[in-house]
């Protein structure tokens, strides 16, 4: 390690101001001292709470997916149910998201783990849950979120759908990976 590398420290926030805010996120503009000791700026997106994602699995080992149109990318995607916890208990938020997006409830819930969403610009932490013992309530609220389709996919078929980019939402991929590890069902077979 060189002397210059040894001198590098953490980022230091000198001042901050809110550049934009709405009910779903805010953008914070910070004046900083960079790790190299030079002044700079950094914009950070903050969300009101962590997010939750649900790998809902039927008794036949099929995963429930919703299809919705995403405005930022102008694309329709297959995703596991999920969203912001809105400050709720994480498990309660996961239960709410599952029922709102799919009309399913579950009798068994297992926390799978968490991950940092986009560490370069966003402060959000995501949490995944495995939901099993599913039954339908018919109380989904899909239209509000732009959900226009739903399907189940056998866990063993997920790798092919991921490879073909039929499933390519980053949050869903992360949640599915954690489910694969927990269930000891490899997504990719050697």
Q: Find, among 114, 141, 136, 145, the residue nearest to 51 by Cα.
A: 114
Please name the residues in contact with 175: beta carbons below 8 A apart, sequence gap of 6 or more.
Answer: 53, 54, 55, 80, 82, 112, 126, 128
**Segments making up each domain of the chain, as ranges:** 3-46, 51-115+122-183
pTM for this model (two decimals): 0.88
Please write the tens of the pLDDT for every residue from 7-31: 556 999 999 999 999 988 999 999 9
Pick the CATH number of 51-115+122-183 from 3.40.50.300, 3.40.1550.10, 3.90.79.10, 3.40.720.10: 3.90.79.10
Residues of the chain with pLDDT under 70: 1-9, 189-190
**Nearest CA among 34, 38, 29, 40 for reference residue 12:** 34
């Amino acid at each position: 390690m060189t002397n210059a590398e040894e001198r590098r420290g953490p980022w230091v926030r000198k001042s901050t101001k809110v550049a934009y805010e709405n009910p779903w996120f805010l953008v914070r503009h910070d004046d900083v001292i960079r790790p190299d000791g030079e002044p700079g700026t950094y914009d950070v997106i903050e969300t009101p709470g962590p997010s939750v994602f649900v790998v809902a699995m039927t008794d036949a080992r099929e995963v429930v997916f919703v299809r919705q149109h995403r405005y930022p990318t102008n694309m329709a995607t297959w995703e596991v149910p999920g969203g912001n916890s809105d400050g709720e208990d994480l498990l309660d938020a996961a239960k709410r998201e599952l029922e709102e997006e799919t009309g399913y409830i579950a009798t068994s819930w297992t926390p799978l783990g968490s991950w940092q969403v986009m560490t370069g610009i966003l402060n959000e932490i995501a949490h995944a849950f495995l939901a099993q013992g599913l039954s339908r309530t018919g109380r989904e609220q899909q239209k509000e979120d732009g959900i226009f389709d739903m399907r189940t996919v056998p866990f063993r078929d997920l790798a092919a759908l991921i490879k073909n980019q039929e499933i390519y939402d980053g949050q869903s991929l992360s949640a599915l990976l954690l489910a694969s590890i927990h269930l000891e069902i490899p997504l990719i077979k050697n």
